[in-house]
Structure 1
Amino acid sequence: MESPLVTTEWLANHVDQPDLFLLDVSVDNVVGKEPIVYEELIIIPGSYKVSIDHELSDTETAGIHVFPKVKQIQQVAQKLGLTPKSMIVLYDDQGIYSAPRAWWIFKSYGFERVFILDGGLPKWQAEGRATAANHLEPNSQSGDSTYERNPVAVKSSKDVLSNIDSEESTVIDVRAEARFYGKAPEPRPGVRSGHIPKSCNLPFMNVLTSDGLTFKSVDELKALFDAQNFSQNASFIFSCGSGMTACIMLVAAIVAGYQNVSLYDGSWAEWGADASLPIEL
């Protein structure tokens, strides 16, 4: 699979490309890492804003960041004039945080040329590149493409529960170690502490550089996964608090050469809130 990442240098050289759509998919609520706080809106010039919380989440279904329905993808595509073959570059204002989530959404719905800006807005700014204060206003109502979600891209709690016995996939929980072992309280009320039985813990910050802004190198990511003794054909289900940071680890696995990856969309916010589901500490 082609790398899901592009560099700030690459974007600077291609940002004016006519068929490129630059999407700001930053979120307001950052959990699991110290957020970068901005006093005013700063963006990369030529960006459209797409909201993960509203446009790319199923707000009609109970839960946090529920994977969007087909009709929502169609609405976003029509608003911006996207097609499954459009070149899309996604970034967020934390470096690497919410862009991997948006990437997995677009990829799961069949978009072929979608990429994550490694380092996002912070790296772009740090390099002294031009910024802007307003997003572009979409003016397209075109696009008659049809979309269908890859059925293996997203797992339900039922799938994960069944996997405890079958062990067909390794469930990787990317929350901090203290939350995984129930030694730190969950940030959401009504959610139990602990983890999914037989899951393993690999905190998402482990795949990012020390400043938390970019992914580690390909060799470093391969070494990290190799240290877990995973086979190259291993199948993974990634989980976190609400399905956001799990996608960071999912992308890291793809960069490291793994292909059989999926997301437990409900993640611990769903599992920990359901007393009928088993937990371990």
Structure 2
Amino acid sequence: MNSPLVSTDWLNSHLECCDLFILDVSMSKVIGKQPIIYEQLFTIPNSYKVSIENDLSDLNSSAIHTFPSGEQVQRLSVQLGFNLQSTLILYDDQGIYSAPRAWWIFISLGFENVFILDGGLPKWIAEGRPIDDKHHLLPQDFGDLNSELDCNTAAITTSDMLLLNIETENSIVIDVRAEQRFLGVVAEPRAGVRSGHIPKSKNLPFGLVLESTQYKAADDLKGLFEKLGCSSDSAIIFSCGSGITACIVLVAAIIADFNNVSLYDGSWAEWGSDESLPISK
């Protein structure tokens, strides 16, 4: 798999390219890190606002941040005018936070030319790149996707599959929540969710794969995964609180050339809420 990242230099030199769609996928609520707060709206020129919470979550599901259906993303693509051949650049206002989640959604649905802006909006602003105070208006003429979107089933892992994996250990399960949440020594931020972790899972807090607002170098990332027993042929499943920050570390694994990866979409919000599922502390 090619690198999922593009640099601020690259984007700055391609801002006016045809069939390039810049999507601001920042989230309104940031959990697990000290959020970067802005006094006003700053955007990268020509970027569209796409909501993880609404546009890229299944609103018919009772669970939080559930993976959207292909039909839902297809409607979004038609509305904004991009298709499977378009180049999508994703960024968020924390640097690296929610953009990896949006990236995994698009990749899982068959989009190939999708990239995360490494360093996101904070790096863009710090370098004195051009900024705007609004998002790009929606096109007047809708595009045409010309293809139905179907999710790659290997991209998503369910609680039933994880329950079986506790016995088989065919996959390495990596929980990216903070260590104290993983160990169950602090209460979960969501009411009614038990503390602890999935039995036999390993902990790699998502902040450890980042250097400020960017990803660490590939060799450094590789070392982090190797310490957890991962090899090039390992199947790795990523989990977090609700399926957002798990994608940060999932993308880090891909950068480090571990490509057999999957997301536990329900994550701890689902597992910790289900009394029938075992937990460890």
With the length of structure 2 as denominator, give the TM-score of the two structures.
0.98
Letter in 1 for 2:245: T
SS state at 1:270 partner:
helix
The residue type equivalent to 2:159 in the other structure is S
AA of the residue aligned to 1:190: G
Give the match's secondary structure for 2:58. Answer: coil
User: Per-residue deviation at 1:226?
Assistant: 2.1
Runs of 4+ that moved beyond 3 A: none
Displacement after TM superposition at 1:127 (Å): 0.3
Residue 179 of structure 1: how far off its partner (Å) = 0.3
Match of 1:238 in 2: 238
Partner of 1:50 in structure 2? 50
Distance across 2 between alignment mates of 1:201 and 1:224: 11
The one-letter amino acid of 1:25's match is V
* 1:212-223 alignment runs, 5 A limit: 213-223=213-223
Q: What 5-or-longer segments of structure 1 have no aligned partner?
A: none
Contact conserved, 2:241 with 2:268, CA < 8 A, in 1? yes
Match in the other structure for 1:131: 131
Instruction: Look up the equivalent residue of 2:143 and give its one-letter code.
Output: S
User: What is the deviation of 1:94?
Assistant: 0.2
More deviation, 187-196/38-47: 38-47
Deviations 1:2-29 (A, max 9, x none): 0000010111011111121000000010
Q: What's 1:142 paired with?
A: 143
Question: Deviation of residue 227 (structure 1)?
Answer: 2.2
Note if 1:164 corresponds to 2:155: no
Kept after mapping to 1: 8 A contact 2:202/2:228: no
Match of 2:110 in 1: 110
Counterpart of 2:222 in 1: which secondary structure? helix
Residue 17 (structure 1) aligns with: 17
Alignment match of 2:198 (pick from 185, 196, 199): 196
- Equivalents in 2 of 1:184, 1:208: separation in Å? 24
Aligned to 1:205: 207
Distance (whole Å) between structure 1 residues aligned to residue 165 and residue 15 of structure 2: 43
Within the alignment, does 1:184 sit opposite 2:154 as a pair?
no
Write out aligned runs for 1:76-95 (5 A). 76-95=76-95
Q: What is the identity, as a one-letter code, of the residue corresponding to 2:63?
A: G
Deviations 1:112-142 (A, max 9, x none): 1000000000000000111101111121422
Which residue does 1:151 correspond to in 2?
153
CA shift, 1:167, in A, is 1.1
Instruction: Please state whether the residue corresponding to 2:214 is helix, strand or coil.
Output: coil
In the alignment, the residues of structure 2 paired with residue 16 and residue 194 of structure 1 have an alpha-carbon distance, to the nearest angstrom, of 48
Q: Which amino acid aligns with 1:58?
A: D
Q: Structure 1 length as normaliser, TM-score?
A: 0.98
SS of corresponding position for 1:152: helix
* 1:85-130 Cα deviation digits (max 9, x unpaired): 1100000000000000000000000001000000000000000111
Letter matched to residue 233 of structure 2 = N
Range 217-226 or range 5-14, more displaced: 217-226
Do 2:103 and 2:116's aligned partners in 1 also have CA atoms closer than 8 Å? yes
Once the two structures are superposed, what CA deviation does each residue of 1:165-197 show, in whole Å capped at 9, x if it has no partner? 121111100000000000111000000000000
Letter in 2 for 1:141: F
Q: Aligned letter for 1:183? A: V
Q: Deviations over 1:133-171 (max 9, x none)?
A: 111112142213211100110111111111111211111
Q: Secondary structure at the match of 2:125?
A: helix
Alpha-carbon deviation of 1:231? 1.6
| 84-93 or 143-152, larger mean C-alpha shift | 143-152
Rounded Cα–Cα distance in structure 2 between residues aligned with 1:117 and 1:198: 33
Whether the aligned pair in 1 keeps the contact of 2:176 and 2:245 (CA below 8 Å) is yes
Match among 174, 177, 182 for residue 175 of structure 1 = 177
CA contact (8 A) 2:71 2:148 kept: no
Of the structure 1 ranges 19-28 and 224-233, higher mean CA displacement relative to structure 2 is found in: 224-233
Q: Aligned partners of 2:231, 2:222: CA distance in 1, in Å?
A: 11
CA–CA distance in structure 1, aligned partners of residues 197 and 226 of structure 2: 23
Which ranges in structure 2 are unaligned for 5 or more consecutive residues?
none
